[in-house]
Amino acid sequence: MEAVKSKTIAREIMSTFLNPKRTVAELKELRALTGDENGAQRVAFTPTWLKARAWLRERVKDLPLEIHNDAAGNTWFTLPGASDQALLIGGHMDSVPNGGWLDGCLNVLTGVEILRRIHAQYPGKPPVTVRLVDWADEEGARFGKSLFGSSACSGNLDMNEARVLQDKDGIRLPDALKEVGIDFERVKESGQELKNAAAYLELHIEQGPVLLDLDLPLGAVLGTFGVERHAITFHGQAAHSGSTPMNRRKDAFLAAAKMSSEIYRIAGRSGNGVCTIGSCTTKPGIVTSVVAECRITLDQRHLDAAKLATMLAEAKAASDKFAREGNVSVSWERLWQIAPRPFNQELISLCDEAIRDTCGKSHRLPSGPLHDAAEVAAAGIPTVMMFVQSLHGISHNKIEDTREEHLELCVTAFDKLAESAMEWIPARAK
Ligand SMILES: [Zn+2]
């Protein structure tokens, strides 16, 4: 009973220090400073991105923070606590060109407000160290490599692949990094920042329609989807469209076309998985010939590794069956894959609780897009994300938007999650 009472009092104190309206006002200020009529223009490693980061440092100058950039260009804002064990809160100031006003910076500015609240509530000494990180180049808009700063930090960045990346003007990634004072060959030294990391929290706009369709403001994220991406080629025989009877054809397109409806059944059986055939090309590709070769691409995603493997096996079995039925052959080529990154169960529960406490009802959902949180989770740090509803279910577009009352709710709920995580960290260490 005493514990419940002291928790209630702590929550009351928290709400007097937290000012969610200030976060909304700061988001608007940032939009005015770094956006134009086409949307946000904070592309990583550009002058506008540097301007946004300088503005961010200005916002926190009254807090007793230690601030530095790590070897990969991620900025760390540290509020030292009684324990070295650190609660991390992450986001990214960079945007895609013509991006939305919330993607990435909502997370960072909410983190700033939480640092203010924690400093006010525990003057000089929060129970654990609290660190806000602004990841460098989450979007990968210029070099086509997403999660640059966080994957350098987690150790997953493929150096050989990244070393030769070029932007559309032929400028290499290592040269662009040198311009902003980053030595490409040393970026993985940023990994030492995770040394005392005990939990990682990230707030993000959903960028999809799930919460909107459920009419819920907030959701707890279960993890990021694993992905299997393949090219499937059916090999038949070109034949004259007039002289070849239907029963004599080796029609590569017929077999490929059957896959189209089959993937809906495969996804349906998998629970929450998704499957997409995103492209289809035929050879010879003329109106008077049966299709000799048909290549389709298949993208499959699931949060559960075993179910993702089943979806893939079922697609392979179906392609063999349709090839046999049509008297053609089939070959597969893997284009890309990534494992699912499930988040920490206990943190997911705390996230759920913080949401219910703030707006009555929560919902658990997986994330289709990857986020920096996926990299931190892969590095073995207990991680969770919170989503706030996106209007139109749209992002990476200037029409990206979220209701102001939902923005205020997400700051409040995310702050409660931060507080519970600060209590969870020492309890877990025991
Ligand atoms: Zn983002």
Confidence of residue 428 (pLDDT cuts 50, 70, 90): confident
- Helical H runs in 80-188? 105-121, 148-154, 159-163, 173-179
CB 223 within 8 A of CB 342: yes
Please report the pLDDT score of residue 151 as a whole number: 96
| Half-sphere exposure in the Cβ direction for 238 (13 Å, CA) | 9
Over residues 377-417, the pLDDT tens digits come to 999 999 999 999 999 888 888 999 999 999 999 999 999 99
Asked whether residue 73 carries a pLDDT value surpassing 90, the answer given is yes
Distance 344 CA to ligand 1 centre (A): 20
Arithmetic mean of pLDDT, 239-264: 97
Residues 418 and 398: their CA atoms lie apart, in Å, by 30
Instruction: Find all residues with CB under 8 Å of 148, minimum gap 6, and list them.
Output: 44, 72, 136, 137, 138, 140, 157, 162
Please report the pLDDT score of residue 301 as a whole number: 94
Distance 286 CA to ligand 1 centre (A): 43
Closest CA to 199 of 428, 430, 370: 428
Over residues 293-327, the pLDDT tens digits come to 999 999 999 999 999 999 999 999 999 999 999 99
Distance 138 CA to ligand 1 centre (A): 7
Distance 246 CA to ligand 1 centre (A): 51
Asked whether residue 1 carries a pLDDT value surpassing 60, the answer given is no
Distances (CA, A) of 243 to 247, 288, 291: 12, 10, 14
Distances (CA, A) of 240 to 248, 290, 292, 325, 328: 11, 7, 11, 21, 17
- 301 membership: H or E segment, kind and range: strand 293-302
| Dihedral in degrees, nearest 10, Cα atoms 284, 288, 290, 291 | 30
Mean pLDDT of the chain: 95
Distance 102 CA to ligand 1 centre (A): 8
Instruction: Tell me the sheet residues that pair with 201.
Output: 89, 384
Please report the pLDDT score of residue 10 as a whole number: 73
Closest CA to 274 of 297, 239, 299, 306: 299
Residues 313 and 334: their CA atoms lie apart, in Å, by 13
Asked whether residue 278 carries a pLDDT value surpassing 80, the answer given is yes
Distance 225 CA to ligand 1 centre (A): 15
Instruction: Tell me the sheet residues that pair with 260.
Output: none
CB 387 within 8 A of CB 221: yes
Closest CA to 184 of 140, 148, 221: 148
Least confident among 76-85, 104-113, 136-145, 207-216: 136-145
Asked whether residue 258 carries a pLDDT value surpassing 90, the answer given is yes
Distance 312 CA to ligand 1 centre (A): 28
Distance 389 CA to ligand 1 centre (A): 14
Distance 104 CA to ligand 1 centre (A): 4
CB-based burial label for 167 (10 Å; 0-12, 13-18, 19+)? middle
Distance 370 CA to ligand 1 centre (A): 9
Distance 36 CA to ligand 1 centre (A): 19
- pTM equals 0.88
Distance 202 CA to ligand 1 centre (A): 10
Over residues 10-29, the pLDDT tens digits come to 777 788 899 999 999 999 99
Residues 242 and 409: their CA atoms lie apart, in Å, by 65
Distance 92 CA to ligand 1 centre (A): 7
Distance 307 CA to ligand 1 centre (A): 27
Percent of the chain with pLDDT over 90: 89
Instruction: Find all residues with CB under 8 Å of 344, minimum gap 6, and list them.
Output: 199, 377, 382, 383, 384
Bridge pairing between strands 218-224 and 128-134: unpaired
Distance 397 CA to ligand 1 centre (A): 12
Residues 343 and 204: their CA atoms lie apart, in Å, by 15
Tokens representing 299 are 């993208």
Distance 95 CA to ligand 1 centre (A): 8
Distance 253 CA to ligand 1 centre (A): 38
Instruction: Tell me the sheet residues that pair with 86.
Output: 129, 197
Per-residue DSSP letter, 187: G
Distance 137 CA to ligand 1 centre (A): 10
Instruction: Find all residues with CB under 8 Å of 228, minimum gap 6, and list them.
Output: 298, 299, 300, 301, 308, 311, 312, 334, 337
Distance 13 CA to ligand 1 centre (A): 31
Arithmetic mean of pLDDT, 353-376: 95
Least confident among 123-127, 268-272, 344-348, 420-424: 123-127
| Bond into 284 cis (ω within 30) | yes
Closest CA to 302 of 335, 341, 332, 333: 341
Residues 152 and 144: their CA atoms lie apart, in Å, by 15
Under the phi-then-psi rule, with left for phi > 0, alpha for psi from -120 to 50, and beta for the rest, what region is 63?
beta
Please report the pLDDT score of residue 418 as a whole number: 98
Distance 390 CA to ligand 1 centre (A): 12
